[in-house]
Amino acid sequence: MMSEIYNTFPVPDDKIVSDHVPLCGACRYLKKRREDAMKYCNTLIAVKDMPASLKFYRELFGLEVAVDLGWCKALTCGLTLQEHFDEIAGFPAETMKYRSNTMELYFETEDFDGFVSLLDSFPTVERLHEPRTYPWLQRGIHIFDPDGHLIEVSESMYAVACREFQKGAGPEETAKLIQHPVAVVQAWFEKYQGLKKNDLTVCGTDCGACSCYGTMCTGCNACQGKVFHAPEGKACPIYECAVEGKGLKNCGECGMLPCEIWMSTRDPRYSDEEFADSVNQRIQALKK
């Protein structure tokens, strides 16, 4: 009976009795739910070996324990790990199904390639499949945690949209490609365009052409050289030297260009030839 009443929620206003009439438990509950919406708090997963689970979520996801209740630990994202779940929930341990394929923990990252590289250094982490691209152009991978809980890690849809913007697609075309509402993609486009202004950097790099731009990096000017690959809290050596050290707008105003700092600030993926090209192109951009 109670479940039937709950299933009728939301109840039309004229069915909620007034405060002057004594309310039965179900009506009080429904009234309270109207006044103070039910809150979704977190997802709790049963774990057999807390240290192993903590290590997994710390090292691969950068999560820490936010609330420590012994058998129960809430991580910084709200995900909660629970030991002895059978005793607490009240069912036999042998009936617990750890490898469900009907739900997943879903994580997003702006740096999907970085996550996959990190994952490569954990060969014992089981993968359901290798990275793949969904029809809405988002790349993702499914893996299992130490207890067999299914986890999806995908790139954020904003990052997916930015990739299309970088190729020259407008918001409507991007919305179609990534199968998202135009209004949402329009807002992302405006954010992306806002970031793109003033995007020639101190060293002549065009942030607008960088795959990290707008997602994992706000651009050199916006973050004042404190890019994710610089030492924590510090600006990159070129930015530090030109702007903070010499008070210049950019290295184009410096007679030492290209200096030792330029030569030692190099993307390790570049070959010697590619790096020389990059230096020349940046010098040309600064001299325009």
Decide: helix, strand or coil at residue 275: helix
Query: Is the Cβ of residue 30 or residue 241 nearer to ligand SF4 in the bound state?
Result: 241
| 104 close to 151: Cβ distance less than 8 angstroms | yes
Among 53, 80, 109, 205, binds ligand SF4 (CB under 6 A): 205
First-to-last alpha carbon distance for the chain, in angstroms, is 77
Among 82, 188, 219, 286, binds ligand SF4 (CB under 6 A): 219
Question: Which whole-number Å values give the CA distances from 205 to 29, 75, 83, 238, in the listed order?
Answer: 60, 38, 50, 12
If one asks whether residue 169 binds ligand SF4 (CB under 6 A), the answer comes out as no
Residues numbered 227-256 forming contacts with ligand SF4, rule: CB under 6 A: 227, 236, 238-239, 241-242, 246, 248, 251, 254, 256
Residues numbered 175-204 forming contacts with ligand SF4, rule: CB under 6 A: 201-203
Query: Is the Cβ of residue 22 or residue 268 nearer to ligand SF4 in the bound state?
Result: 268
Amino acid (1-letter code) at residue 66: A
Q: In angstroms, what is the minimal distance from the CB of 256 to ligand SF4?
A: 4
| 107 close to 143: Cβ distance less than 8 angstroms | no
CA distance 122 to 57: 12
Decide: helix, strand or coil at residue 192: helix
Q: In angstroms, what is the minimal distance from the CB of 155 to ligand SF4?
A: 16
| 153 close to 118: Cβ distance less than 8 angstroms | no
Residues numbered 260-279 forming contacts with ligand SF4, rule: CB under 6 A: 261-262, 265
Question: Which stretches of the chain bind ligand SF4, using CB under 6 A?
Answer: 201-203, 205, 207, 210, 212-213, 217, 219-220, 225, 227, 236, 238-239, 241-242, 246, 248, 251, 254, 256-257, 259, 261-262, 265
